[in-house]
A and B are shown apart, each in its own frame.
Chain A
Amino acid sequence: MSVTLTTDAATPGRNSGGSSGGGVPTTVATPTLRALLRRSSFWILAFAGIVIVAIVGVLVSGGSHAAGRALAGDNAAPAGSMALAEVLRQQGVTVTLADSLVEVRDAVGPDSTVLLYDANGYLDGDQLAELAARAARTVVVAPDFLALQALAPTVGFGGVSAASSLQADCSLPAANRAEELLPGGDTLSIPQGGHPLLTGCFASSTDTFSLVQVENATTGGLVSLVPDARVFNNENVTGYGNAALALGLLGESDSLVWYLPTLADLPRTGPPSLAELTPGWVSPVAVLLVLAAVAAAFWRGRRFGPLVAENLPVTVKASETMEGRARLYARSNARLRALDALRVGAVQRLARAVGLGRLAQLEEVIGTVAQITGSDPNEVRRVLVNANPHSDAQLMALSDALQALEQAAGRAVMAGAVPAAEAAASASREFSPPPAERMDP
């Protein structure tokens, strides 16, 4: 393709403004941006509508997502404890929700109560001890083995309560106000004969209790162990004396820290992460390269105008029927049929070679061929007519014999030793000398 500079005089038509003379204004097939927007306005509006509906839906349902954490103070689901926290707030207690020990340290005062529910066992013994030491009152819900070891080594697990009803039956005021507790929960066991610093309430048997209070001999801090977490959740807090117990335990002081440990409390171990090892520019460079790759995709992917359609001709080989028939012969082992086709062709060629006409009889051809090739007529008849191949090897042998016969006949005719053939030829058709008369060479 070449580009040439043209002058106005040498070009056809005119170029002044493209509006007169030969300058028929060229129509543009590509729609303008405005036309494109107008044409696709329905889809744009539909997409915008879906996005708006989705955003509004998320905002409306956002406050009450059911998948909050169990016993969380801001979880209104049955497993949460939002009811308890809200009631305490209405009673004038400052409820602070904490997710890590650092937040607890900030929030806890000398007279604070701390609610601890460590369902996943994130805290280790030292952290538990520190927590119990900082707060005046600590309520540990569903303590695990580590918590018992750290806070009350003499207390053990008592299994699931078998008692039909749990009566307070102890000296703690909160337990007394509650009178009765939800039966069927986990219990804790106290050593036989009691312990001066331990108080057990809601006994299921002589030494298993659903509430155990431990008094620290040195600091005077109180640790209440409630093995059954159901006492505090939204679903069960209104039953029996659950609410009274919970409010009594948690509402003792003006400040309550509602602490549910998270992964942030785990001490960091192991080698430093990849982000700490790499320089700060790695992530932005990665973002930039991704953007460059996207831009490159647009650069290479933009088509230079629409595709050009063209009707292509059918491509059918004329020999396909022949090939198909050959495969049919081969698949069905139609040896005799295939050989007969070869024989008919060979007989016609032989008849032509030895000078017999197209309408010569088969016996005539056999006799003539046997005569000029000097072979046994029975053998020629076997090859041309009688033999029936029973295997592919026999078929190939007969095919070779046919070819050999044709070649022998051709050689014999060439050699000129064909008096019989000439006689047969002169008998079969008349000699026609003028070439102009001969129509069928």
Chain B
Amino acid sequence: MTLSGRFVLLLALGVVPIVWFGPSSEQASGVLFLWLLFVLALGGVDLALAASPRAVTVERMLPSRVRLGESVTSELYLTNTGRRRLIAVVRDAWQPSAGAGRNRSRVTIPRGERRLVSLTLTPFRRGERRVEQVTVRTRGPLGLMNRQATLNAPGRIRVLPPFHARKHLPSRIARLKELDGRTSVMVRGQGTEFDSLREYVRGDDVRSIDWRATARRNDVMVRTWRPERDRRVVILLDTGRTSAARVDNEPRLDTAFEAALLLAALTSVAGDRVDFLAFDRRVRGRVQGASGAALLSQMVDSMAMIDPELIEMDWAAVPGQVRSITSQHALVVVLTSIDAAGASTGLLAVLPQLTKRHTVVVASTLDPATVLAAATRGGRDEIYRAAAAERALLDVARVSAAIRQLGADVVTASPSQLPPALADRYIALKAAGKL
């Protein structure tokens, strides 16, 4: 039961009769008493005539998933199972980050009928956004009193990572195609596979002339090459505590998602097999054996539910996890953060085990604020800040050098540049036949 603004207004209107009929204190008090009785009686009648909010059946229709930044429509069907006409305000209690905006709506449902309440959701956080309850506040015919009840109507919608980096995909696919023998530009590496023979045209690399074929035919023949296919790529995501830190107002984990998705999309186009693993002390997400469109949808699906865990990454378990995915040679992409030498000892300790079998690329975001701070030398405080930034960059450089010394490759870039940089590195590795 709740009061409405009309009730308060009606109560306050009692000033008029009290002033009108009450020159003396006793008369005015009597009028006040009578007015209170009148208002309470009216309110009681209104409350008794209000439809029961409990006699409402709620059904919910929701799309199961939405990409972050896009909008969906949530549909709520309300059936009035009571005996009275229901005039109500309905609140669909979504979590704030579901982006429901103003989630109250007025409905009038005659007895036994059904109405649809639709709400546009624009979630602004990744993960699972939930709604548990619907609150119905009905009012009486006079609008003085309300009845209110909260109904259980659970619903959930999975908000997938946005994959903004897909804008880089067409250009990278084009570069990937250039590696193939189909275009005129020949790029040749050691590990590339023999594709076909064709006639020599000016500009071809003379080293690729196939003399035997030339002898068989009366024309100069050259070999064309194409990159290897069906290689394995393992994307390993560090979801430990360092992945929670924000760089450019984006958690490192989300940047890693973008990079992983772009790499996976590119890899599946190139014909390689991708396995995805999100790990800190236990497996948070795993996608294995998928390809094509299913790969990306499975990856975003598993990524949607991954949040940074505030625990230390268990690097010692990483080689075992990689071994459980593949025993062949593979490209292992480790998406983590490279900070001070002390924080990276775990990674450095297990890298030799990985590089012995696999080609390893360690990718990390570099804070553009640090780079900017190192170059800003205005006053005393800024110089100390520049010194600290320089020190941080030196730490990163030192750890990167150590990683390179252990036989792995390092990619560091700002959050917006990391996904294309990683994709470029993949293309370069593929061109060099190092997969």
Instruction: Report the bound CA distance from A253 to B115 in whole Å.
Output: 92
Please state if A302 and B2 are interface contacts (CB–CB under 8 Å): yes
Asked, given contacts A25-B57, A403-B377, whether A3 binds B116 with beta carbons under 8 Å apart, the answer is yes
Binary A-proximity of B1-32 (CB < 8 A = 1, otherwise 0): 01111011001101100110011111111011
Q: Which residues of B contact A28 (CB under 8 A)?
A: 54, 149-152
Please state if B380 and A15 are interface contacts (CB–CB under 8 Å): no
| Nearest opposing residue in chain A for B74, CB measure | A1
Please state if B251 and A313 are interface contacts (CB–CB under 8 Å): yes
Q: Identify A1's interface contact among B54, B117, B252, CB under 8 A.
A: B117
Q: Identify B32's interface contact among A2, A288, A342, CB under 8 A.
A: A288
Q: Identify B373's interface contact among A23, A279, A285, A322, CB under 8 A.
A: A322
Q: How many A-B residue pairs have CB under 8 A?
A: 275
The minimal Cβ–Cβ distance linking A5 to chain B, given in whole angstroms, is 6
Q: Which 7 A-B pairs have the closest CB atoms?
A: A305-B135, A338-B387, A280-B25, A18-B57, A326-B388, A281-B22, A281-B28
Please state if A30 and B150 are interface contacts (CB–CB under 8 Å): yes
Please state if A285 and B104 are interface contacts (CB–CB under 8 Å): no
Instruction: Report the bound CA distance from A298 to B56 in whole Å.
Output: 25
Q: Which stretch, A103-111, A196-204, A393-401, touches the partner chain B?
A: A393-401
Please state if A313 and B307 are interface contacts (CB–CB under 8 Å): yes
Q: Which residues of B contact A310 (CB under 8 A)?
A: 95-97
Please state if B94 and A308 are interface contacts (CB–CB under 8 Å): yes
Instruction: Report the bound CA distance from A28 to B428 in whole Å.
Output: 61
Asked, given contacts A12-B61, A285-B28, whether A298 binds B389 with beta carbons under 8 Å apart, the answer is no
Q: Does A284 contact B (CB under 8 A)?
A: yes
The minimal Cβ–Cβ distance linking B6 to chain A, given in whole angstroms, is 9
User: Which residues 98-119 in B have Cβ within 8 Å of A in the complex?
Assistant: 101-107, 112-119
Q: Identify A6's interface contact among B27, B91, B116, CB under 8 A.
A: B116
Q: Identify B432's interface contact among A296, A302, A439, CB under 8 A.
A: A439
Could you tell me which B residues sit within 8 Å of A by CB distance?
A: 2-5, 7-8, 11-12, 14-15, 18-19, 22-29, 31-32, 35-36, 54, 56-59, 61, 77, 79, 81, 89, 91-97, 101-107, 112-120, 125, 131-135, 137, 148-153, 187-189, 244-247, 251-252, 307-308, 310, 337, 339-340, 365, 367, 369-370, 373-374, 377, 379-381, 383-394, 397, 401, 404, 409, 428-429, 431-432
Q: Does A291 contact B (CB under 8 A)?
A: yes
Instruction: Report the bound CA distance from A112 to B8 in whole Å.
Output: 61
Binary B-proximity of A3-14 (CB < 8 A = 1, otherwise 0): 111101001110
Q: Which residues of B contact A22 (CB under 8 A)?
A: 59
Q: Which residues of A contact B61 (CB under 8 A)?
A: 12
The minimal Cβ–Cβ distance linking A15 to chain B, given in whole angstroms, is 4
Please state if B388 and A325 are interface contacts (CB–CB under 8 Å): yes
Please state if A3 and B152 are interface contacts (CB–CB under 8 Å): no
Please state if B151 and A27 are interface contacts (CB–CB under 8 Å): yes
Q: Which residues of A contact B367 (CB under 8 A)?
A: 318-319, 322
Instruction: Report the bound CA distance from A411 to B125 in whole Å.
Output: 47
Q: Does A437 contact B (CB under 8 A)?
A: yes
The minimal Cβ–Cβ distance linking A170 to chain B, given in whole angstroms, is 57
Q: Identify B245's interface contact among A279, A283, A316, A341, CB under 8 A.
A: A316
Please state if A299 and B3 are interface contacts (CB–CB under 8 Å): yes
Binary B-proximity of A136-166 (CB < 8 A = 1, otherwise 0): 0000000000000000000000000000000
Count of residues in A whose CB is under 8 Å from the partner chain: 80
| Nearest opposing residue in chain B for A291, CB measure | B11
Q: Does A217 contact B (CB under 8 A)?
A: no
Please state if B390 and A342 are interface contacts (CB–CB under 8 Å): yes
Instruction: Report the bound CA distance from A288 to B28 in whole Å.
Output: 11
Q: Which residues of A contact B28 (CB under 8 A)?
A: 280-281, 283-285
Q: Does A292 contact B (CB under 8 A)?
A: yes
Q: Identify B79's interface contact among A18, A308, A315, A316, CB under 8 A.
A: A18
Q: Identify A392's interface contact among B5, B112, B339, B380, CB under 8 A.
A: B380
Q: Which residues of A contact B373 (CB under 8 A)?
A: 319, 322, 326
Please state if A400 and B388 are interface contacts (CB–CB under 8 Å): no
Could you tell me which A residues sit within 8 Å of B by CB distance?
A: 1-6, 8, 11-13, 15-18, 22-30, 32, 279-281, 283-285, 287-289, 291-292, 295-296, 298-299, 302, 304-306, 308-310, 313-319, 321-323, 325-327, 329-330, 337-339, 341-342, 344-345, 348, 358, 392, 395-396, 399-400, 403, 436-437, 439-440
| Nearest opposing residue in chain B for A436, CB measure | B431
Query: 22 A-B Cβ contacts within 8 A?
Result: A2-B117, A3-B107, A15-B112, A17-B81, A26-B56, A26-B153, A29-B149, A29-B150, A288-B35, A288-B36, A299-B8, A304-B104, A308-B132, A313-B244, A321-B340, A325-B391, A345-B390, A358-B401, A392-B380, A399-B377, A399-B386, A436-B188
Q: Which residues of B contact A26 (CB under 8 A)?
A: 56-58, 151-153
Instruction: Report the bound CA distance from A97 to B310 in whole Å.
Output: 82
| Nearest opposing residue in chain A for B392, CB measure | A322
Q: Which residues of A contact B89 (CB under 8 A)?
A: 304
Instruction: Report the bound CA distance from A268 to B266 in whole Å.
Output: 100
Q: Which residues of B contact A13 (CB under 8 A)?
A: 59, 77
Max count, chain A CB within 10 A of own CB: residue among B12, B117, B131, B374: B12
Instruction: Report the bound CA distance from A165 to B7 in whole Å.
Output: 78
Instruction: Report the bound CA distance from A186 to B92 in whole Å.
Output: 84
Instruction: Report the bound CA distance from A11 to B74 in whole Å.
Output: 14
Q: Identify B11's interface contact among A27, A295, A395, CB under 8 A.
A: A295
Instruction: Report the bound CA distance from A202 to B98 in whole Å.
Output: 97
| Nearest opposing residue in chain A for B3, CB measure | A299
Instruction: Report the bound CA distance from A1 to B102 in whole Å.
Output: 7
Max count, chain A CB within 10 A of own CB: residue among B57, B149, B397: B57
| Nearest opposing residue in chain A for B43, CB measure | A295
Instruction: Report the bound CA distance from A310 to B124 in whole Å.
Output: 13
Please state if A23 and B79 are interface contacts (CB–CB under 8 Å): yes
Max count, chain A CB within 10 A of own CB: residue among B18, B137, B365, B394: B18
Instruction: Report the bound CA distance from A280 to B150 in whole Å.
Output: 46
Instruction: Report the bound CA distance from A304 to B104 in whole Å.
Output: 10
Q: Which residues of B contact A296 (CB under 8 A)?
A: 5, 8
Task: Taking A284-B31, A318-B252 as given, write out 16 further A-B residue pairs in contact, using a Cβ cutoff of 8 Å, ordered by the A residue number.
Answer: A1-B102, A3-B107, A13-B77, A26-B57, A27-B152, A28-B151, A280-B26, A285-B15, A304-B91, A305-B91, A305-B134, A305-B148, A306-B135, A322-B373, A392-B380, A436-B189
Q: Which residues of B contact A439 (CB under 8 A)?
A: 409, 428-429, 432
Please state if A400 and B150 are interface contacts (CB–CB under 8 Å): no
Please state if B432 and A15 are interface contacts (CB–CB under 8 Å): no
Please state if A280 and B114 are interface contacts (CB–CB under 8 Å): no
Q: Which residues of B contact A27 (CB under 8 A)?
A: 151-152
Max count, chain A CB within 10 A of own CB: residue among B22, B56, B104: B22
Q: Which residues of B contact A403 (CB under 8 A)?
A: 377
Q: Which residues of B contact A316 (CB under 8 A)?
A: 244-246
Instruction: Report the bound CA distance from A319 to B393 in whole Å.
Output: 11
The minimal Cβ–Cβ distance linking A182 to chain B, given in whole angstroms, is 51
Please state if A330 and B113 are interface contacts (CB–CB under 8 Å): no
Instruction: Report the bound CA distance from A295 to B4 in whole Å.
Output: 9
Instruction: Report the bound CA distance from A440 to B421 in whole Å.
Output: 12
Please state if B77 and A6 are interface contacts (CB–CB under 8 Å): yes
Q: Which residues of B contact A321 (CB under 8 A)?
A: 339-340, 392
| Nearest opposing residue in chain B for A337, CB measure | B387
Please state if A29 and B133 are interface contacts (CB–CB under 8 Å): yes
The minimal Cβ–Cβ distance linking A436 to chain B, given in whole angstroms, is 5
Instruction: Report the bound CA distance from A298 to B373 in whole Å.
Output: 54
The minimal Cβ–Cβ distance linking B47 to chain A, given in whole angstroms, is 12
Instruction: Report the bound CA distance from A246 to B401 in whole Å.
Output: 113
The minimal Cβ–Cβ distance linking B228 to chain A, given in whole angstroms, is 14
Q: Which residues of B contact A440 (CB under 8 A)?
A: 404, 409
Q: Which residues of A contact B117 (CB under 8 A)?
A: 1-4
The minimal Cβ–Cβ distance linking A121 to chain B, given in whole angstroms, is 33
| Nearest opposing residue in chain A for B192, CB measure | A436
Instruction: Report the bound CA distance from A17 to B112 in whole Å.
Output: 7
Q: Which residues of B contact A29 (CB under 8 A)?
A: 133, 149-152
